[in-house]
């Protein structure tokens, strides 16, 4: 039995998540799609390192459940490097309940098959994201033309037009935004839903000149028991905040909208709220779909491929294989989980991503911003942050030479805080 099968078996034993009680108050958190059933009553020691978890009670009395190595694992709290072993690093990150914590993590950023391993020259390991990342360029200094330093304007004014609807469209140049992870800090914590942050992000995107033609989101719009009513309430708060942007939003399914694998499931309230709020209004019947976006003059073609990792099935795998085989000038793949994370889709998708031709993989799940090769990690849309970047969003702009300029914005200052170019 492989690692994922073991995790799924343990998930079933634990009665669908976070030791869920009869009142539906307990659910899984961001990285724990399938916890291992770790004994909550035992002492945590060095052996808990890299143990998958959904909540800190699974990690014993001397450890906490935190984001590192691209997912969510148990780790020993530390106040400095002296508290950790020779092959460990004291990493500031975020716990499963949203608290800012520091825990001892593997210095190579790897847990089992997940994480950095050995990074190529010119890159370094992001211990929280579990991926080898490239050095970030300063602000707007990304080599693009006519650099601007805030979200109020963008080069080439009227040459980009918002012609993208639920069925796609035609544009002169691609220009779109990406937002990720907008859930509240705690389970069923609807009172602390980050409405103000999400609203301001969408207001800023709406106010850009030109306005981005569409928005992509990378999942986790709620944090609630899938058998209760809070997920639907949180989705309504999200939709109200999202309404401040007047364009089309293409939303990926997050693990919090399911908590395991919702393929064929009809009784998961969170999943149903996601479908009703973010999928069906687009005219889509399934949580995975592809959107064509083409050049007005017929010079190039593009597609946005929305993958539902937590509704994975053989049918979706067949569909995705077919979609990726269709030749387009630009291909953008969107899913919730980063490469290397444990999720129902990752084993099947790994070989597909190796063989497919695509320009970007947009992901969330880890509450930070970073980029590694073609992967953009965008998880700072309002959820508790596990990195140094503030809440915000990214834009992707097609340049005259055909390359793609990605810029990260701080939502409070509207300043560009990161940028890079994709071929």
Q: What is the pLDDT of residue 46?
A: 54
Give per-residue pLDDT as tens, 181-212: 999 998 999 999 999 999 999 999 999 998 99
Residue 53 pLDDT level (bands cut at 50, 70, 90): confident
Above 60 in pLDDT, residue 258? yes
Above 90 in pLDDT, residue 254? yes
Does an H or E element contain 238, and which? helix 230-242
Please indicate whether residue 342 or residue 298 has the higher confidence score (pLDDT): 298
Above 80 in pLDDT, residue 420? yes
Residue 415 pLDDT level (bands cut at 50, 70, 90): very high
Give per-residue pLDDT as tens, 272-281: 999 999 999 9
The Cα 418–Cα 423 span in angstroms is 17
Q: What is the pLDDT of residue 58?
A: 86
- Burial label, 346 (beta-carbon count in 10 A; 0-12, 13-18, 19+): buried
Residue with tokens 């958190």: 29
Q: Residue 377 forms beta bridges with which residues?
A: 363, 370
Q: What is the pLDDT of residue 151?
A: 52
CA distances from residue 129 to 126, 175, 409, 410 in whole angstroms, order as listed: 5, 26, 19, 19
Residue 96, both tokens:
């499963």
Question: At 289, is the secondary structure helix, strand, or coil?
Answer: strand
Of 359, 336, 338, residue with least CA distance to 405: 359
CATH architecture of 137-422: 4-Layer Sandwich (3.60)
Residue with tokens 């949203």: 98
Per the CB < 8 A criterion, the answer to whether 128 and 389 are in contact is no
Does an H or E element contain 321, and which? helix 314-325
Q: What is the pLDDT of residue 132?
A: 83
User: 88: Cβ–Cβ under 8 A, 6 or more apart, which residues?
Assistant: 49, 104, 105, 106, 107
Give per-residue pLDDT as tens, 153-178: 544 444 556 679 999 999 999 999 99
Q: Residue 304 forms beta bridges with which residues?
A: 291, 332
Q: What is the pLDDT of residue 136?
A: 58
Q: What is the pLDDT of residue 255?
A: 94
Of 203, 186, 277, 290, residue with least CA distance to 244: 203
Above 60 in pLDDT, residue 354? yes
The Cα 371–Cα 136 span in angstroms is 9
Give per-residue pLDDT as tens, 375-408: 999 999 999 998 789 999 999 999 999 999 999 9
- Residue 407 φ/ψ, nearest 5 degrees: -130, 135
Q: Which residues of 71-85 are buried (b: 16+ CB within 10 A; e: fewer)?
A: bbbbbbbbeeeeebe
Q: What is the pLDDT of residue 302?
A: 98
Residue 350 pLDDT level (bands cut at 50, 70, 90): very high
The Cα 161–Cα 7 span in angstroms is 46
For the CA atoms of 237, 409, 219, 224, what is the dihedral angle to 10 degrees? -40
Dihedral sign for Cα atoms in the order 326, 332, 334, 338: positive
The Cα 296–Cα 263 span in angstroms is 37
Give per-residue pLDDT as tens, 7-32: 333 333 333 333 333 233 333 343 44
Q: What is the pLDDT of residue 161?
A: 62
The Cα 280–Cα 32 span in angstroms is 27
Mean pLDDT, the chain, whole residue set: 84
Q: Give the mean pLDDT of 254-261.
A: 94
Q: Please, where in the chain does CATH 3.60.21.10 lie?
A: 137-422
Question: At 169, is the secondary structure helix, strand, or coil?
Answer: strand
Counting residues of the chain whose pLDDT is more than 90, the rounded percentage is: 64
Per mean pLDDT, which range of 150-154, 204-208, 214-218 is the poorest? 150-154
Give per-residue pLDDT as tens, 56-79: 888 988 899 998 888 888 999 999
The Cα 168–Cα 396 span in angstroms is 17
């Amino acid at each position: 039995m492989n690692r994922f099968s073991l995790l799924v078996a343990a998930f079933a034993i634990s009665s669908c998540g976070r030791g869920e009680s009869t009142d539906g108050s307990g659910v899984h958190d961001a990285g724990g799609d399938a916890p291992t059933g770790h004994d909550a009553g035992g002492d945590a020691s060095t052996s808990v390192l890299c143990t998958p978890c959904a909540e800190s009670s699974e990690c014993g009395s001397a450890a906490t459940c935190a984001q590192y190595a691209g997912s969510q694992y148990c780790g020993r709290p530390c106040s400095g490097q002296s508290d950790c072993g020779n092959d460990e690093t004291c990493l500031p990150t975020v716990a499963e309940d949203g608290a800012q914590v520091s825990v001892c993590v593997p210095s190579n950023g790897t847990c089992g098959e997940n994480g950095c391993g050995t990074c190529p020259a010119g890159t370094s390991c992001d211990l929280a994201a579990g991926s080898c990342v490239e050095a970030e360029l300063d602000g707007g200094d990304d080599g693009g033309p006519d650099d601007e330093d805030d979200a109020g304007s963008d080069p080439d004014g009227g040459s980009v037009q918002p012609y993208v609807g639920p069925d796609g469209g035609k544009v002169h140049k691609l220009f779109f935004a990406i937002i990720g992870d907008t859930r509240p800090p705690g389970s069923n914590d609807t009172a602390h839903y980050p409405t103000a942050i999400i609203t301001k992000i969408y207001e800023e995107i709406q106010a850009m000149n030109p306005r981005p033609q569409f928005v992509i989101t990378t999942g986790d719009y709620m944090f609630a028991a899938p058998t209760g009513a809070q997920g639907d309430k949180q989705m309504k708060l999200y939709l109200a905040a999202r309404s401040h942007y007047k364009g089309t939003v293409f939303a990926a399914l997050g693990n919090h909208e399911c908590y395991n694998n919702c393929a064929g499931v009809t009784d998961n309230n969170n999943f149903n709220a996601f479908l009703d709020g973010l999928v069906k209004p687009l005219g889509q019947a399934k949580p995975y779909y592809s959107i064509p976006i083409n050049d007005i003059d017929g010079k190039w073609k593009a597609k946005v491929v929305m993958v539902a990792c937590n509704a994975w099935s053989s049918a979706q795998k067949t569909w995705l294989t077919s979609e990726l085989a269709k030749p387009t000038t630009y291909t953008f793949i969107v899913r919730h989980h980063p490469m290397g994370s444990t999720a129902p889709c990752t084993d099947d998708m790994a070989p597909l991503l190796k063989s497919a031709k695509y320009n970007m993989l947009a992901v969330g799940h880890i509450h930070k911003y970073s980029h590694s090769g073609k992967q953009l990690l965008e998880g700072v849309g309002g959820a508790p942050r596990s990195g140094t970047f503030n809440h915000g969003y990214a834009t992707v702009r097609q340049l005259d030479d055909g390359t793609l300029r990605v810029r990260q914005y701080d939502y409070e200052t509207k300043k560009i805080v990161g940028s890079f170019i994709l071929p």
